[in-house]
Amino acid sequence: MTSVAQTLADGTALLHDSSASPRADALLLLAHAMRREREWIVAYGDATPSREEVQAFERLSTQRSEGVPVAYLLGSAGFFGREFLVNESVLVPRPETEHLVAAAIAFIGKRPLDVVDVGTGSGAIACTIAAETRATVCGTDTSSAAVAIANENARRFGVTDRCRFCVGDLTEAVSAQRFDLVVANLPYVPTAEIPSKPDPVAFEPREALDGGSDGLTLYRRLFNTLASLLNANALILLEAAPPTMPGLSAIVRSALPHSAIAVCRDYAGLERYLRISTGATDA
């Protein structure tokens, strides 16, 4: 039988042309197949995996070589220090969204505020805010499969008492409530720019990606009704594609002419989200 190190090398070679990070992907998949930590795989290269472990690894590596995102193969993705359950029904939470969450947490501080997360997907934003603060969070999504995963994540992180999820279009399911903070990472990829397989993004739900012809269709609709849901001095945090920031700012200015809008950058230094203060106390 082959060694752990050789199995890893074989997997890395298989992924060479299809992945930007072949060794890192192979390492994660081999650790998953062997139910070990990555560090163990690196430290015990001379160990011998079982036939079943090698076969499981080969199946996962083949799927990865066809483009399937690592997170779907592992069934989880790291976000803001927690491991969220994910499957093909939800967008894989992205590191850039952590910035938006950090801004939300800073705004909330120790206050027991009411928060809505529009387009919650895996619940990564909603569950993190509930876990890190005393806020009560409501997540909405048109996908009942996504809401099922978000509920599982809320249970996983022990936040079901302050985090609930509703199926519905935008804020329709919460229209009777008022919020101090609105966060949204709605689909924002312009339709013509949605990639095709084997790009890993193409394996994610189209409903989580497609932002219409200019990437702003959902945000335009959101602002038709948002003003009536806001408490005094509310904050709105919206993630979108860097090139769409001027267009999104114009939508916000038209709907909330007295708000203060700041464009904020992600880890890569790209303009990634808008911070919209609706009150005088948080300009």
Ligand X SMILES: C[S@@+](CC[C@H](N)C(=O)[O-])C[C@H]1O[C@@H](n2cnc3c(N)ncnc32)[C@H](O)[C@@H]1O
Q: Which residues bind ligand X (CB under 6 A)?
A: 90-91, 93, 97, 118-122, 124-125, 140-143, 146, 169-170, 185-187, 207-208, 218
163-167/136-141 β-pairing: parallel
Closer to ligand X by Cβ: residue 57 or 219: 219
Distances (CA, A) of 117 to 150, 182, 193: 11, 6, 25
Least spacing, CB of residue 28 vs ligand X, in Å: 19
Closer to ligand X by Cβ: residue 14 or 86: 86
Least spacing, CB of residue 65 vs ligand X, in Å: 25
Q: How many CA atoms lie within 13 A of 93 on its CB side?
A: 32
H-type alpha helices, 117-201: 124-132, 144-156
Shortest CA distance to 242 belongs to which of 80, 96, 33, 131?
96
Least spacing, CB of residue 222 vs ligand X, in Å: 8
Bridge partner residues of 276 (DSSP): 236, 261
Closer to ligand X by Cβ: residue 212 or 279: 212
Sole residue written with tokens 């009560």: 136
Closer to ligand X by Cβ: residue 56 or 129: 129
For CA atoms 157, 161, 167, 169, give the dihedral sign: negative
Closer to ligand X by Cβ: residue 55 or 225: 225
Least spacing, CB of residue 125 vs ligand X, in Å: 5
Closer to ligand X by Cβ: residue 207 or 271: 207
Q: Please, are residues 138 and 166 in contact by the beta-carbon 8 Å criterion? A: yes
Least spacing, CB of residue 149 vs ligand X, in Å: 9
What separation, in Å, do the N-terminal and C-terminal C-alpha atoms of the chain show? 64
Least spacing, CB of residue 153 vs ligand X, in Å: 11
